[in-house]
Structures are given as structure tokens and as C-alpha cells.
Structure 1
Amino acid sequence: MAISTSKVSAVAAKSSKGKWSNLSKYACGIFFFLVILQVPLFRIPCRSGMCTTPLQVTSSQLVASEIFPLPVVKGLLYPGAIVNGLINNMSFPSWDNLLSIYNLTDIKQASALTDLQRLEVLAGSYFCVAGAIIGILKPGRMSMFGTLLVIWGLVKEGILNKPVNTDPTKAVFVYPTMLIALVCAFLSVKYDIKKVARRSPSRPVAKPLQSSSKSKLK
């Protein structure tokens, strides 16, 4: 019994949609762990000193502005602090000393000019953290926009502005893991094949010519 072309195309669309949805979920999961576990992606001066992850840039602003309560910020920082503590010292960090580990105890007295000069990195870090958390529930484009903003800010800071700072420990630097974050951010965008098919213009169907009124009278 022959299978119609429409059924074959429907099955192919469902299989491709399932593969793409799984790919976006995996990409969101990898991006989430890169951000929450604070894998170094870049190095840039920030309000708390030197920041190497979007979460560190975001946390310094959240603590200084008091937008979120401190337990919420600590909850975001603690998983990465545990991983870094086990890798470096084979010990668990203390919850009470978490702010001092990230140099956030006197962050309110620090000058905000450092972050104001790098608005692209600051805004991109906010989008990266929010996109990583929201992407676990529902994949979206927030992670991609945030990563592109961070990369543009790093390019602007390291190349276009030509900083006079010659200290290699305080210079802007991009780690190879940034490429992994960029790929995961693009793959985390979920496309709906059905919506794309609906938006595509349909081909006009040729209609049979109707007989004229004169032919009917004859």
C-alpha cells in the first residue's frame, strides 16, 4: 500500500522537530551550567575587582543596588563557589563568608564608573544569567542576545578603545570557553517548524474555467 507524500512529509517534520527540540534543551543545559558554575568566559575589570563570568558581573551590581535580597544573590553564587572550592582547595566555602570570597562586602563604596564604562558587558551579563535560568524552563533568545552583547563589549573594550593598561593580569581577555557559550546560546533558540510552514506563502491553485453564461443558454 503506497504511502502518500503528505504523510511522509508530516513524519519527517515531526522527527526533525523532535531532534531540534532536544538539541535546544541540551544547549540550554550546557549554557546553564557554564553560567551557574561560573566557568571563566572572559576577564574584565568590574566593580568588585576582576570578573571572569557573567554571574560575577551581575552579582556585583545586584549587591550594590540591593535589587534582590542577599540570600538570593548568595544562592546564585554558591554552586559555583562550591565547584571552585573543590577544584582549588578541596574544601566547601562557608555561606557566611561567601560575599568576602567574591569581594562583595564593600561593593557599595566602590565606584560605579567601572561598570558604566562597560554597559554592553553589564547588560549582556544580565541577559546571560536570566537566559540561563529561564532557558531551563523554556528555551528562548535571551541567552543569545546576552552573549552577543558581552562579546561586543569585550571587542569594544579590548580592540576599539585600545586601553593603556599594560598589566596582563588586569587586561581584557577572552577564554576559549566563550566559543562554547556562543554556540550553546545559538543552539538554545527553539524554532517551531509548524509556525514557519504556516508563514510561508502557499502556492495558488489553478481553478477550472467556468463555462460562460452564453454557453449555458445554448
Structure 2
Amino acid sequence: MANPVPSKGWTKNISSIASRVYFLLILFQIPLFRVPCRSGMCTTPIHVTSSQLISSEIFPVPVIKALLYPGAVVNGLASNTTIPKWENVLDIYNLTNIKEASAVTDLQRLEVLAGSYFSVAGAFVGILKPGRMSMFGSLLLTWGLVKEGMLGKPANTDPTRSVYVYPTLVIALVCAFSSIKYDLKKATRPAPARPIAKPLMSSSKSKLK
């Protein structure tokens, strides 16, 4: 009779596969949402993060271009079957004059900004060691979009700059939750039985007398 597959084995495989799928969604910049940002309209967490990093000058521009280039290649091949040039990456995402743009747009959407940061960081960290950073970033990002889309905070009267959520965000949420490792064997393990107190030898002898 074949031995059953341990629960820890298949849960580890699921978390690894989910982490890789989530990483590809983030790295190749599959549109997850549409929200106003400093560079115009952002559709991916990397776009939101890059616009903030360039304006704050936290990382060198080549590092940010390296973060954007894989998605730019995928989008270029999908739209007009051409590979964009390295020098034109910032122009494609309207990040050339991002330092002169107003920061009010990002400050009004702190949940989207923070969620994008955690989503991008969690995608890269999850390749090495799956954790909860991707889940936290996706939940924070989703709450920011829901708060603006349903509750109208902040108010937006321009339909061309309205918030929109793509179905791919649901896939990202599922992958973020599935990337967390669960030990079902440990979770379903019964509580250890309490030891039964035995009477002392002296007390048993005193009863016999």
C-alpha cells in the first residue's frame, strides 16, 4: 500500500507556484487596476512604486529602469510586436518630468501607494522565501481601491481618471494568499494529553494503616 503524500509537501508546492505566478504578474506589469498617480494613470504596482521612487530619488534611475524594462518589453510585444529601447523606458511611463508633478495625488491614496510598495517587495522576496508581505500589500492595495471606488474617497468628478479594478487583481489576491505556507499537520494535531496525577507513596501507605 502506497504511503500518502504528506500535507506539508503539497502545501509547499502550492506556495512556491503561487509565489512565482504572483512574481510574474508584478514583474511583467499585468494591469491590475487603473488609478490616478503622479505620472498620469497607473495600472500596476511597479508603475506606482517607480513614480514615487524617481521623485524621491531613493534609488538610482538605472535601477528603476531595470525594474520597469521587463514589463515594457512584454507590453511592447503585446501591443505592436516591438521591443522598446532602454533609453525610452522613462518616456513610455511618463516618468521623465515626474519630479515636477504634484504629490497631492499620491498623498490622497496612501493605501494604494503603500500597498504597491509591499506588493513589489513581496513579489521579489517571495521568490526566495514565500511570506506574508505579498498578502499584506495586496490587501492594502485592494482596500485603497475599494475605498475610492465605492466610498468615493477622495472624490473624483473626471470619468477619464476614475478608478477601475481589473479581474486580474483577484488572481493576484489568490496567489498572494496561496503563497503563505501552512502546516496542516501541525494545525490539525490534537492537543497533548495532560498527565494524570498519581498519589504519593506516603499517602497510600497512611491509608492502609
How does the TM-score come out when normalised to structure 1?
0.87
- Please say if 1:44 is aligned against 2:35: yes
Equivalent residue for 2:194?
Answer: 204
Aligned match for 2:10, one of 9, 19, 22? 19
How does the TM-score come out when normalised to structure 2?
0.90
Taking every aligned residue pair, what percent have the same amino acid on both sides? 61
- Please say if 1:188 is aligned against 2:179: yes
- Please say if 1:126 is aligned against 2:126: no
| Displacement after TM superposition at 1:194 (Å) | 6.5
Aligned match for 2:157, one of 145, 155, 165? 165
Equivalent residue for 1:59?
Answer: 50
| Displacement after TM superposition at 1:70 (Å) | 1.0
Number of aligned residues:
206
Equivalent residue for 1:155?
Answer: 146
SS in 1 for 2:50: helix
- For the residues of structure 1 that align with 2:184 and 2:36, how far apart are their CA atoms? 42
- For the residues of structure 1 that align with 2:90 and 2:193, how far apart are their CA atoms? 62
- Please say if 1:138 is aligned against 2:129: yes
Does the 8 A contact of 2:11 with 2:183 survive in 1? no
Equivalent residue for 1:29?
Answer: 20
- For the residues of structure 1 that align with 2:179 and 2:40, how far apart are their CA atoms? 31
SS in 1 for 2:41: strand
- For the residues of structure 1 that align with 2:141 and 2:110, how far apart are their CA atoms? 9
| Displacement after TM superposition at 1:190 (Å) | 1.1
| Displacement after TM superposition at 1:197 (Å) | 6.9
- Please say if 1:213 is aligned against 2:205: yes
Equivalent residue for 1:89?
Answer: 80
Does the 8 A contact of 2:49 with 2:117 survive in 1? yes
Letter in 1 for 2:53: L
Letter in 2 for 1:57: V
SS in 2 for 1:179: helix
1:113-140 deviations in whole A, cap 9, x for unaligned? 0000000000000000000000000000
- For the residues of structure 2 that align with 1:190 and 1:93, how far apart are their CA atoms? 38
Larger displacement relative to structure 2 (32-41 or 66-75): 66-75
Q: Structure 1 regions of 5+ residues with no counterpart?
A: 1-10
Letter in 2 for 1:99: L
- For the residues of structure 1 that align with 2:72 and 2:46, how far apart are their CA atoms? 11
- For the residues of structure 1 that align with 2:101 and 2:198, how far apart are their CA atoms? 78
SS in 1 for 2:31: coil
